[in-house]
Every structure is written in C-alpha cells, then in structure tokens.
Amino acid sequence: MVDNREVVNEAELKELLRAKALASGFDVAGFAAALPPPRAEALTPWLQTGAHGGMAWLAREPEKREDPRRLMEGVATVLVLGVNSRPEATAGAQPAAGCGTIAVHARRPDYHVVLQKRLKGLRVWLEHHLGRPVPCRLCVDTAPLLEKPLGVAAGLGWQGKNALLVSPRMGCWLLLAEILLPFALPPDRPLPDRCGRCRRCLQACPTDALAEPYRLQARRCLAYLTIEWDGPLAPADRLAMGSRLYGCDDCLVVCPWNRFAVPNGDADWQPRVQWLAPSLLQCGSLDEQAFRTLTQQMPMRRMGLVRWLRNVAVALGNWGAPQALPVLRQLLHHDAPLVRGHAAWGIGRILAQPNGKECGSAPLLWLQEQRQRESEPMVQEEIAAALQTVAGALR
C-alpha cells in the first residue's frame, strides 16, 4: 500500500480530490471505505433465483462484486463519482406515431468513453500532485463492482425502490464511475432512505419487473429484454415494449426526486438529433453496414443488427399502421430466424387490428408463402400463431 501520510494528510487529500473531480466535469464525488457496501449480502440470493436472466457475467465470482478489496491489492478507499444525465426534453414523452423510443442514456455517444476519459485525467492530476505513480483502478460500469450500493456508502444518495441510486439533488439521473485508491481517506456519511411510502416507480413498470420494492427482476425488465436478451421475446413482453427499441426509462422518469435535477447543458451529454425520435421505417431498413455507420460511438452498436431488427419488428407491429407492412415483409425474408419470426408477429398484429381488412389480402399471402419455404421451427411457429391471430380477428 502507498503511504500517503508522507505527502499530505488524508482529510486534505480527500477534499483536493473532490474539488478536482468537480472541476473535471463530475457533478458529485463521494468517498467510501473499501468494504462490502450496503445490501451486498443480497447479491448471492438474487443470483440464485435467476433474477439476472441471461447476464451470466453477473454470476461469475460474485464475491468480487461484494467486496472491492478483491479487485485491487491494497485498495482502501473507493471514490464514487457521478454525472447528472438529465436531458433537456421530458424523457417519458410519447414519441410521434411511427417513431421509436431510445433510452435517454443511449441518445448520446457512449457515456463509458466520456467518463473513462475524465477518470484518466483525474488520475494524471493525482499522480502529478503527489509527484509519483499511484496504483489505482478506474471503473465505468464494466468492472465487477456493486456501484450503486457503493454510491450509497459514499453518501451520494440511497438505493430506491426501483433499485437505482436516488440523489436528493439529481434524482435518478446519475451516471456513475469509480476510482479504487490505496489511501485510507475519511469516508463520507451515507444518507437515509427517503423513498417513504412512494410507489410510483413500482407502478410505472410495464412488465412488473419491480413487483418487490428494491428488487429488480432483470429477466422481466424491458431494458434487459431489449438490450441484453438475444432470444425471442414473449408475446406479452412484445406488447409491453410499445415503440421501445433500446432500453426503458419508465421507473426512472416518474421518481419525484427528479424535480430537483437541472438539465445538463454539457456538450458531452447532448443527444444526437437522429436518436430523439428515430423513424421505425428507416430503422427497419438498415443493413449491417448502415447499422454500423449509424451507431458509430453509440451504445446501440453493442447489441448488433439482429437484436435491433427484432425490436424494430415488434415496434412496427405495435404501431399498427399499414405503412409498416412493406418493411415487415422485407424483415420476413431476413437471414436471421429471430428477425423473421418477429416480423411475422408484427404482420399478424397489424392485420388483426380493426382496420386490418383495409390492408388487403397480400400480407396474408406473404405469411402463407413464407410458411411453405420456412425451415426453422421457431419461425414456423411464429407464422402459424400470426395466421391464427388474424383468422380469429376476421371471424
């Protein structure tokens, strides 16, 4: 362990670090002892129930997540940093017909890159200030840390009933980053839970993923299903998705503590215009190259084209407009079975609408012809279900 007492006392170094962090573009900075944070003991039971869904990496070496001392030899303090990501526009506003919905954090270039750059700048300052290298670890979401509980331990807020960190100044809009430090700096005082009797986030969840307060069932969450899950979506989840293409902010935007957050005018946090209300017809017409070009430096790049088109097919079906049918026909012939299956569902959903007869007989023939040539059992089942749905609606 590096002994910083030869250079500066702990309390002074702590406040110098906090001041520099705030000057470097972070909105909050708190310090926690490198110990298991609040509710760390709940991780293993949560994993044992399978609540993490297909995110297998969460179950790898959970003891590392529970105790930051297992991540870096000699770590004594965790500096937890946050940036206010509240957008100018209302995040929960319904998009115009024919437009998709993107989670607020993904409407701008990947925040991991921005925060990592700021962390590196803070480390450079620290080493220059002390006049020697400092062994530390920089973390932005990807390290096996319980970052929200660490934020609680560092006095940045409390973990709300929606399982997010709630700041008394910025509501649920904080994006977090951490630096593991070898200095035993005085920890900040945790704040009490101030959710009270409020249940707005629980009531707002479209899929009941927050049936139990403070305990998210990730496998039921639309953020997980639209981003992480790479398989077919359950019919009920498709309906709940509405126009969502990437993520869900419903349990975030309803938190009453958000009223204290001021929109962030920092240039790094301004959204790209094309992601505020992307056209579903354009989104469904992308090939691999167009998708990679459009999502350059954006979080959506990570999900890949197949998952993206799966989500678009669902959103087009939920839109229900006849204008969506040509794009869905194109997706019905896609190379990926996952896309073809959801396109069949989307076509069936549109044809089953009260005005479905106005679409003519051609879309029904598309489904019937594809059923004859389809070799994938999963897609065959999707087409059969779509045809049955349409038949039931026409009776």
Q: How far apart are CA 81 and CA 101, in angstroms?
A: 28
Contacts of 377 (CB under 8 A, 6+ apart): none
In DSSP notation, 232-255 reads PPPHHHHHHHTTEEE---HHHHT-
Q: How far apart are CA 208 and CA 149, in angstroms?
A: 23
The phi and psi torsions of 156 (rounded to 5 degrees) equal -85, -20
Residue in the block written with tokens 């190379």: 335
Residue 156 to residues 32, 160, 235, Cα–Cα distance (Å): 10, 12, 39
Q: How far apart are CA 204 and CA 36, in angstroms?
A: 31
Catalytic position from the list 3, 67, 141, 237: 141
Which strand (E) or helix (H) includes residue 222?
Answer: helix 222-227
| Structure token digits, residue 314 | 């669902």
CB 31 within 8 A of CB 186: yes
Which strand (E) or helix (H) includes residue 339?
Answer: helix 337-351
Q: How far apart are CA 352 and CA 346, in angstroms?
A: 10
CB 91 within 8 A of CB 104: yes
Whether 141 is catalytic is: yes
CB 79 within 8 A of CB 179: yes
Convert 278-293 to b/e letters by CB count within 10 Å (16 or more is b): bebbbbbebeeeebee
Cite the active site residues.
Answer: 141
